[in-house]
Structure 1
Amino acid sequence: MKKSKTYDTKSLSAKQPIGIFDSGVGGLTVAKEIKKVMPHEDIIYFGDTKHLPYGEKSKEAIIGYCKQITRFLMGQNCKAIVVACNTATANALKEISEEIHGQAFLFDVIHPVAEKVAFSLHQNIGVIATKATVGTGLYKKTIRKHNKFLQVHELATPLLVPAIEEGFIYHPITKAILANYLSDKKLNHIDTLILGCTHYPLLTKEIKQYYEDKVNVIDSPAIVANQVKFILEQNQLLNDKNHLPEYKFYLSDITKNFQKISKKFFGNKISLELKNLDKK
């Protein structure tokens, strides 16, 4: 997202951490890219594994979860909040912004990607995402706002997040689910596919194999990470290059799959802390 006039950047420090949240392991794909392009930044990650998948929840429930998590991350003194969840972005971005109240930078995973795609060499764009994201039509609205000549076809793919959260990556079950979804007539003749859920980049290899590399699969986490870096750099809020980064992971429910993927991305020394935000 672009810098808001309401951001109180004078009170922010480069030493403050970047807060990232998602319903589960999906946001780790964004966190991994942020770590890659900004290797000296402290990261605080919240995975709301207790309430996943967000894509099957009501808008009111999603807003409630997001407000709780945002308050928690703001309490951790974050200089930026990255909503690493497409469903949260599509359903609760306004409420998240209100919780932040201009006291930190806010980034999401839809607007930077939609803008990038709208101004690239694409004509026929497919979007796969959760029911709650597709229901808002936000990808189509945002892309066509920037370029009204593009064709955008959105498809709800609700079985993918549960499969990924259960650890069925590189599994025949997930491959069959993908084949069923990607063969849908809505995605016929597309030249570009946006993975409209941060869980889905964990299946990029299988998706590219299905299309035999004939469809451009958008690397959304990289786009988002570079947007975060650009804004923080513009505001002189990148940490010192001699700083040894700290990574903190909080979960509303600790799962084996989260442990596995987080250690794969961030190393075996990380620790996961259980944090129940429902408690008063």
Structure 2
Amino acid sequence: MKPNHASTQPIGIFDSGIGGLTVAHAIVRYLPKENIIYFGDTAHLPYGDKSTAAIQAYSVKIAHMLLQQECKLILIACNSASAAAYELVKEYIGSKALVTNVIDPTVRLLKEKYASRHIGLIGTRQTVNSHIYKKKIDELNLNIRLSSHATNLLASAIEEFGDHQVLDSLLRVYLSHPNLRNIDALVLACTHYPVIKNKILEQYVSSNHNTIDIIDSSDIVAQAVKKQLETHNLLNANGVCSKHFYVSDYTESFAANARLFFGEEITLEHYPLWD
């Protein structure tokens, strides 16, 4: 597939809220000349407790908007939306732009580094119940044992409190679950979770008395996006990394977190998905 877009066109990134900012920030680090358009669907967050049909409707609507912005690549920076809507979005976009998700690059890392290991995974109920990671990992046939646990309140708590000690008790309950014992690594299968990555590791060690690898998809996905753009000769060699942020509902927490992530003043443009 070869999109009809010049290399100077932007990368479109979307998530239900601030979670995708972890991926967007990594992309800015790895691809400092790329122009970024970010859509935070704050009116419908979190996606993790929404139905598959609802997530698909939101995702296609956002993808349409990003196509109107002439994005050369659309990144679904949300595990729940990647699980529920990636194939549908890809079909809807067709050859108009590249489409990628946050699940496949993480599975590729597991393939390369964790054969015959016991892997834990935490994510939203939507992501865990889709069994998409298990299906993809089983297809590798590398004797990787996956133990998943839905940590459904985490994304909303991170949206509300960020990296605050109020999350400690929540993490203590989640990370002491029997499914997550005796694992070699823990996949953070929600793009909100890297915001509290260090806290997750500390609480896991405290609850289980052993250390593990934390698999944060942000850098992994950014590297995959870079490789995809290189493959299609779409890297921007002359850009200045302009950043444009849209939200479906204005929230001060999103604005504050965007400023924190990028260390600069951020202007949010209100773009309701449905009038």
Smaller-chain TM-score bracket: over 0.9
For the 8 Å contact 2:13–2:36, the answer to whether it is kept is yes
CA distance in 2, matches of 1:192, 1:275: 39
* Off by >6 Å, runs of 4+ in structure 1: none
**Structure 1 residues 31 and 168, CA gap change in structure 2 (3 angstroms):** closer
Residue 140 of structure 1 pairs with residue 137 of structure 2: no
CA distance in 2, matches of 1:168, 1:29: 12
Q: State the AA in 2 paired with 1:218.
A: I
Equivalent residue number for residue 219 of structure 1 = 216
1:95-121 C-alpha deviation (Å, 9 max, x unpaired): 111221121111100011012112213
Residue 256 of structure 1 pairs with residue 217 of structure 2: no
1:108-140 C-alpha deviation (Å, 9 max, x unpaired): 000110121122135000110000111110011
For the 8 Å contact 1:170–1:206, the answer to whether it is kept is no
Normalised by the length of structure 2, the TM-score is 0.95
Residue 271 of structure 1 pairs with residue 267 of structure 2: yes
Equivalent residue number for residue 148 of structure 2 = 154
1:162-186 C-alpha deviation (Å, 9 max, x unpaired): 1011124222x21111110010000
Q: State the AA in 1 paired with 2:164.
A: Y
Equivalent residue number for residue 234 of structure 1 = 231
Cα shift at 1:76: 0.4
1:25-83 C-alpha deviation (Å, 9 max, x unpaired): 00000000000000000000000010011111111111111110000001100000000
Equivalent residue number for residue 86 of structure 1 = 79
CA distance in 1, matches of 2:55, 2:114: 34
Normalised by the length of structure 1, the TM-score is 0.93
Task: Report how many aligned residue pairs link the two structures.
Answer: 270
CA distance in 2, matches of 1:32, 1:117: 23
Residue 182 of structure 1 pairs with residue 175 of structure 2: yes
Which sections of structure 1, spanning at least 5 residues, go unmatched? 1-6
Equivalent residue number for residue 97 of structure 1 = 90
CA distance in 1, matches of 2:43, 2:239: 33
Residue 124 of structure 1 pairs with residue 118 of structure 2: yes
For the 8 Å contact 1:163–1:169, the answer to whether it is kept is no
Which sections of structure 2, spanning at least 5 residues, go unmatched? none
Identity of aligned residues (%): 43
CA distance in 2, matches of 1:59, 1:148: 29
CA distance in 1, matches of 2:203, 2:254: 26
For the 8 Å contact 1:26–1:200, the answer to whether it is kept is yes
**Structure 1 residues 235 and 8, CA gap change in structure 2 (3 angstroms):** closer
- Secondary structure at the aligned position of 2:44 is classed as coil
